[in-house]
Structure 1
Amino acid sequence: MAEQLRVVEICAGAGGQSLGLERAGFEHELAVELDANACSTLRLNRPGWKVASGDVADPEIWTPADYQGIDLLAGGVPCPPFTIAGKQLGATDTRDLFAWTVEQCRIVKPRALLLENVRGLSMNRFTAYRQAILDELHDMGYVADWKLFQASDYGVSQLRPRFVLVAMRPEEFAYFDWPEPSRTKPPTVGELVHDLMAANGWPGADAWREKANKIAPTIVGGSKKHGGADLGPTRAKAAWAEMGVDGWGIADSAPGPEVPVDFNPKLTWPMVARIQGWDDDRYKWEFFGRKTSVYRQIGNAFPPPVAEAIGSAIRRALGHETEPRTLIEEVKPVHDPVYHVLRKSTRYMGVEDISRALPHPLDQHTLERHINHLKRDFEIEEKARGSITVYRLGEFKAFTGQDAHPRHEAFQMQLPTIS
């Protein structure tokens, strides 16, 4: 029997990633989650797990040093700092815990790190943010890589892109390969939930199955700030409407025999859970709370099949079950060359100095625009030197545990609306 590996999971939510990692061979030492109903969901399904309820960055909730040497530190940290639909505040968003989690690797020293987030983190807006994360991990002795995953490639009937970071020590990362997509095409929404839609005798269920002939757009859990449950922004609702689904809410039950054949039904939360990757066979799960809370838990989750695929790849690497690759440990990947140049320098640099240090020179206007872009996530010191302005890279604005960081006060103020 394969060795049981141990995981600490932060921002565990309702357990999508938890269940996938469990099926991949990881046993939970601890799960930390802010939402009380999601914590109840975890306890409902896994009574033996240790579940800590509260702010993961609060030292009174858990002590990272108690889990030093854990096999895997994992989490789905909040996505609003990076989401395309939001303001993309990145390091200055008080909900950002990505950099904080990476910093915990100095204390926990996990054999592997797994963090997932929205596609927005993969975009040009966050090249320097990603570079800072990779540099920090490299300084700690880890090799890291990012990959954009599409949930539908792993059997999930949904267009759900997720950006994933995996890091390990070089001697184990040499055995890591990203999981290959499934060769099986996922079922359409109609095929997947037809039995649930027909459960109350709706005569239009068969015709609806034929109309709902695509996989779903991204399920959006929404936030406490914006009220009740629906199936997302205008574009998503339009995509649902084409499949005969009313996206303006979640139904309490499937339509009954008195409902017209041409009716556009709303989905129930069990239907949404199945679309998110939970099912009655491999990924069976129960949820605690009222309808809106349950929908939010489901919509904010990492699909269990995707988590299992990535977790299995990590387990294989930690068990040295694959053929090792030769790693060039001294070479750090460069996502943002301008940030990289400024980080290596201890002196102030003008745009001509920066341009000369780049692999491919940039004109003054482009460089100045890029520096202004960097100011969103980093302190940039600047001063006049004769007729030119010179720059030096300052501190990363992200919260990494600083006592005086504005995150502390802002978090307490926003707590009732954070989800």
Structure 2
Amino acid sequence: MEHYKEDIIMDYKTIDLFCGAGGFSLGFEMAGFKTSLAIDKWDHAINTFNHNRDNQVGISIDINEFDNDRLKALIAQNDITGIIGGPPCQGFSMVGTRDESDDRNSLYLQYVRFVEVVRPKFFILENVKGLLNLKKGHFKDDIIERFSGLGYNVTYKLLKASDYGVPQNRERVFFVGLRNDVFNDTFFAFPKGHESNSVSTSQAISDLPSLDNGDDQEIYKTEPQNDYQQLMRNNSDTVSNNEITNHTEQTKNIISLVPDGGSIKDIPEEYYTVRNYNTAFKRMDSEKPSTTIDCGHRNYFHYKENRVPTVRESARIQSFPDDYYFTGSKTSQYTQVGNAVPPLLAKQIAQEINKLLEVVQDEQLTLNV
């Protein structure tokens, strides 16, 4: 019995919907899952997704155009274990109009369609926390009702990335569904995070080149200074995606007045009204995790240097390893990083899913003996 179990090689396969640059998939791949299909309609993101994988399964397509016949052909060739992904968040976001009629709000219905056709053992849907209370919780309740109706035990939780070792105070809601004919009455228990796991911005990026001082943008400034830097460096010998943003001297002078962890409101008003600088601009706190990395990259400054962070520094704060290369223009790269699910957070969720799948596998083996 034990010998038989040891000879079994698990082959858990996933589909990643609205995959972006691939942070969600990367976390699951780190935990041993294999990606069979990744869909996003943005070419730049798919180019990045495929660039970083030998198995280039990313497809640039509108999810509405990936019809059921094509999906059935895929699952005929692949035993899909799970579906992961985060429908575009613009309609749900706490930032912006929060338009209840935004067409993008219904994109999760395409996610529902994939789950209904594929019938994976589990699914994970990620989104911004604004989804929880938009329209008095209508979207949250609808997601739970629809997937429960398909036979899934659904639970959700708002997770703070910094509690899981990601150097960023990013909050996102995760819905996890376990197929009840596989897991019976088991509901997913989220991995426990804690503020003691937090990594500060300086701990995250202090080994990267000091660009204000003219360091070569591709050469590490120091050896890894801590476990997080060692983890991010992986097998990298050089630093990629690390092009500096050139600010005017006036802008750099104004940034220089903002203290470590402070905002532009901490300096005299005369300095920032001259150029109508956004009052939300702030400098990273060297002793704390970063605020949420966004898609525009211009709302926060390096904790020490007088500039916005580079793409690589932003990717570090998102927990992408240094050998993960982002394709496209610099603006596109920033957006890809900002849209991503932090891989280290995804990995910890994947590890908990793995444990549940192993229990099911063991039970099946016992029944077959």
Normalized against structure 1, the TM-score is what?
Answer: 0.62
> CA–CA distance in 1 between the matches of 2:209 and 2:169?
21
Partner of 1:264: 306
> CA–CA distance in 1 between the matches of 2:49 and 2:338?
16
Letter in 1 for 2:96: G
Partner of 2:168: 158
> CA–CA distance in 2 between the matches of 1:321 and 1:59?
31
Letter in 1 for 2:119: K
> CA–CA distance in 1 between the matches of 2:164 and 2:197?
9
**Aligned pair in 2 of structure 1 residues 43, 61: CA closer, same or farther (>3 Å)?**
farther
Q: Which structure 2 segments of 5+ residues have no match?
A: 1-5, 216-220, 223-258, 262-283, 364-369
SS in 1 for 2:80: coil
Residue 215 of structure 1 and its aligned partner are, at CA, apart by 1.3
Partner of 2:103: 94
Higher mean C-alpha displacement, 129-138 vs 206-215: 206-215
Residue 98 of structure 1 and its aligned partner are, at CA, apart by 1.4
For this pair of structures, how many residues does the alignment match?
Answer: 287
Residue 125 of structure 1 and its aligned partner are, at CA, apart by 3.2
**Aligned pair in 2 of structure 1 residues 319, 67: CA closer, same or farther (>3 Å)?**
farther
SS in 1 for 2:313: helix
Superposed CA RMSD in Å reads 3.0
The one of 89, 96, 99 equivalent to 1:79 is 89
Partner of 1:133: 143
The one of 286, 307, 321 equivalent to 1:212 is 286
Q: Is the 8 A contact 1:41 1:286 kept in 2?
A: yes
Structure 1 consecutive aligned stretches of length 4 or more whose deviation exceeds 4 Å: 205-211, 321-324
Letter in 1 for 2:311: W
Partner of 1:252: none
Partner of 1:25: 32
Higher mean C-alpha displacement, 103-112 vs 8-17: 103-112
> CA–CA distance in 1 between the matches of 2:287 and 2:116?
48
Residue 183 of structure 1 and its aligned partner are, at CA, apart by 7.2
Residue 14 of structure 1 and its aligned partner are, at CA, apart by 0.4
**Aligned pair in 2 of structure 1 residues 98, 155: CA closer, same or farther (>3 Å)?**
same
Letter in 1 for 2:192: E
Residue 211 of structure 1 and its aligned partner are, at CA, apart by 6.1
Q: Is the 8 A contact 2:297 2:308 kept in 1?
A: no
SS in 2 for 1:298: helix
Q: Is the 8 A contact 1:33 1:52 kept in 2?
A: yes
| Counterpart check, 1:112 vs 2:147 | no
Residue 208 of structure 1 and its aligned partner are, at CA, apart by 7.1
**Aligned pair in 2 of structure 1 residues 134, 61: CA closer, same or farther (>3 Å)?**
closer
> CA–CA distance in 1 between the matches of 2:362 and 2:20?
34
> CA–CA distance in 1 between the matches of 2:147 and 2:85?
16
> CA–CA distance in 1 between the matches of 2:307 and 2:204?
15
Partner of 2:14: 7
Residue 82 of structure 1 and its aligned partner are, at CA, apart by 0.5
> CA–CA distance in 1 between the matches of 2:95 and 2:133?
13
Partner of 1:390: none
> CA–CA distance in 1 between the matches of 2:67 and 2:146?
26
Q: Deviations over 1:7-32 (max 9, x none)?
A: 01111100111100101221011111
**Aligned pair in 2 of structure 1 residues 268, 61: CA closer, same or farther (>3 Å)?**
farther
Residue 102 of structure 1 and its aligned partner are, at CA, apart by 1.6
> CA–CA distance in 2 between the matches of 1:230 and 1:157?
16
Percent identity of the aligned residues? 29
Q: Which structure 1 segments of 5+ residues have no match?
A: 222-228, 245-262, 325-419
Residue 136 of structure 1 and its aligned partner are, at CA, apart by 1.6
The one of 70, 73, 76 equivalent to 2:80 is 70
**Aligned pair in 2 of structure 1 residues 126, 62: CA closer, same or farther (>3 Å)?**
farther
| Counterpart check, 1:277 vs 2:344 | no
Larger Rg: 1
Q: Is the 8 A contact 1:176 1:316 kept in 2?
A: no
**Aligned pair in 2 of structure 1 residues 62, 20: CA closer, same or farther (>3 Å)?**
farther
Q: What does 1:235-246 correspond to in 2, within 5 Å? A: 237=300, 240=301, 243-244=303-304
SS in 1 for 2:111: helix
Partner of 1:188: 200
Residue 197 of structure 1 and its aligned partner are, at CA, apart by 4.4
SS in 2 for 1:178: coil
